[in-house]
Structure 1
Amino acid sequence: MTVAGLPFDVVDTAAAAAALSRAVRDGQRLFLSTPNLNFLVAAQADAAFAESVHASDLSVADGMPVLWLARLQGTPLPERVAGSTLFDELRCGAGRAVLGRPIKVYFFGGPPGVAQKACDVLNAEHAQGRGHMLGVGAQSPGFGSVEEMSDSAVIDAINASGADFLVVALGAKKGQAWIMHNRGRLTIPVVSHLGAVVNFVAGTVQRAPLAWQRLGLEWLWRIRQEPQLFKRYWSDGWALLRLVGQAVARRKGTG
């Protein structure tokens, strides 16, 4: 199904986690996209960005506004499948019966030092018997172009790590573009841009409480911790009103 022109798989968190676990077990390539409201808005004006979602193997609704729009257009989705929630499900052992071993994770992106800290956290959890992931590599490539972040040394280091899951954190547009640019060269089974995950795992940013998430107020919590996000959320909020109007109009037109 589609919402505001982007495709979404009709899955819940458990089904998405199972799909990722199977891909890791089988060594099957799986490009996971996690469109939220910002994706919907950006894709309206950026065909290459929209294509990156259409080209993904699994696309989940990472944001309550996506669910609201789906419901308004008469094609409801089962639940929000946030990328960070999906990662945490696997981190806590979802798929353990399928794999029988920890999931090996490589972090690419994030502020200097944060990716390595995220690796260290996963390894400490596993050593204490509290986690089902291992950090096997980290790079913080800075602010270069997609091409500059895609030289052979970068890709070779990622592939040599033996990771099962490559977590990219470069900003949504650049992260999706980097994955599209390098898909054919990467040998990691599961690849996804999960921008906030590296910060959440490292503990440099705290995720919103569950009650805030369920009310669709995670954006407000994020602004409290990262004030620089205000401009993006303000712009996306106005765009949401336009998307709501379009969804209502389409439903009336087909009613």
Structure 2
Amino acid sequence: MQTPYPSAPAHPARDRALHWILGLPFDAMSLAEAVQTVRNAARQRTPLFISTPNLNFLIASQKDPAFRNSVIHSDLSLADGMPILWLAKLLKAPIRERVAGSTLFEQLRYSPLEPEDRPLRVYFFGGPDGVAEKAANAINQDSTSMQCVGYCSPGFGSLDDISTPELLAHINASEADFVVVSLGAKKGQAWIERNRTHLHAPIISHLGAVVNFVAGNVQRAPVWMQRVGLEWFWRIKEEPNLWRRYFSDGAFFLALVFSCLKDMKLNKAPKNKKSPPKP
């Protein structure tokens, strides 16, 4: 459903055909197109704030305007989750492919580079102690298309605590192309909104699970489970503390689908026709 939205900024480098689902914008973009967009941004040093809204983003954004605006302000918004695609189909929005942040990162890590491209330089900001270091070592040992140039686990302080000039200078000194943030969705998006204009890296995104996947602390679901929308089941197996979030999100999603179906049925109901006047 392509509609105008007053808060959406124009993209500095390309026209965007945005499709809106419950107040969040989505780019109808394939994985291959997303990879090329990131590499172009790295090559041209074009600012690119990537959001990857999933069902949890969609739900949280209904009650948190600042969180919602962080997605609206992004330069690229990719549908990360099969429930988003199901809603898009229900609402007739032409979003055909799920582009998960972790899949995008994996493609950037392993797909061959063009002759004019150098390895993408990434910096991990966030994650549990020691995990970013493991992820950095894994990338630098087996990747030819990506290099980790730094990492920092700032702990669980406030936004002020983890936005100091010293921390930002450390990130800038790494000369990274891509800052991968892992602080929890709301905090991560807020940190990006607050600090991205102070960072030299052109590309930034909150990809919360990526650092754990790359480090090997958490295994990603098999591809077939991702394709049929069962990745949540696998994630609960890997991280049992997630069950409450997925249960709550699932209940909200079902209520949302029923509400959409009800509205569609009402909109399709035939209107009463006036009887022709009697002669």
- TM-score bracket, normalised by the shorter chain, equals over 0.9
Partners in 2 of 1:68 and 1:21 — Cα distance? 29
Match of 1:230, SS state, is helix
CA distance change for structure 1 residues 253 and 54 in 2, over 3 Å: closer, same or farther?
farther
Partners in 1 of 2:77 and 2:265 — Cα distance? 27
More moved, 238-247 vs 6-15: 238-247
Paired position in structure 1 for 2:16: none
CA distance change for structure 1 residues 98 and 40 in 2, over 3 Å: closer, same or farther?
farther
CA distance change for structure 1 residues 254 and 74 in 2, over 3 Å: closer, same or farther?
farther
Paired position in structure 1 for 2:132: 115
Looking at secondary structure, tell me which structure has more helix per residue.
1
- Alignment of 1:87 with 2:100, yes or no, is no
Q: How far 1:4 moved relative to its partner?
A: 1.8
- Contact 2:43–2:117 under 8 Å retained in 1: no
- Contact 2:179–2:204 under 8 Å retained in 1: yes
Q: How far 1:75 moved relative to its partner?
A: 1.4
Paired position in structure 1 for 2:65: 47
Unpaired runs of at least 5, structure 1? none
- Alignment of 1:57 with 2:104, yes or no, is no
Paired position in structure 2 for 1:162: 175
Question: Rg bigger for which structure?
Answer: 2
Paired position in structure 1 for 2:158: 145
Partner letter of residue 201 of structure 1? V
- Alignment of 1:31 with 2:49, yes or no, is yes
Match of 1:167, SS state, is strand
Equivalent residues, number: 250
Paired position in structure 1 for 2:91: 73
- Contact 1:73–1:250 under 8 Å retained in 2: no
Partner letter of residue 64 of structure 2? D
Q: How far 1:247 moved relative to its partner?
A: 2.9
Runs of 4+ in 1 over 6 A off after TM superposition: none
Partners in 2 of 1:125 and 1:246 — Cα distance? 48
Match of 2:129, SS state, is coil
Paired position in structure 1 for 2:3: none
CA distance change for structure 1 residues 250 and 87 in 2, over 3 Å: closer, same or farther?
farther
Aligned pairs for 1:1-255 within 5 A? 1-93=19-111, 96-97=113-114, 99-126=116-143, 131-252=144-265, 255=268
Match of 1:105, SS state, is strand
Partner letter of residue 100 of structure 1? D
- Contact 1:146–1:178 under 8 Å retained in 2: yes
Partners in 1 of 2:259 and 2:35 — Cα distance? 32
Which structure has more relative contact order (CA 8 Å, sep 6+)? It is 1
- Contact 1:108–1:167 under 8 Å retained in 2: yes
Deviations 1:209-233 (A, max 9, x none): 0011011000110000100001110
Partner letter of residue 103 of structure 1? L
Identity, % of aligned positions: 55
Q: How far 1:98 moved relative to its partner?
A: 6.5
Unpaired runs of at least 5, structure 2? 1-18, 269-279
Partners in 1 of 2:66 and 2:252 — Cα distance? 20
Partners in 2 of 1:18 and 1:70 — Cα distance? 24
Partner letter of residue 225 of structure 1? E
Q: How far 1:254 moved relative to its partner?
A: 5.4
- Contact 2:102–2:207 under 8 Å retained in 1: yes
Partners in 2 of 1:9 and 1:98 — Cα distance? 28
Partners in 1 of 2:57 and 2:233 — Cα distance? 18
TM-score (structure 1 length as normaliser): 0.95
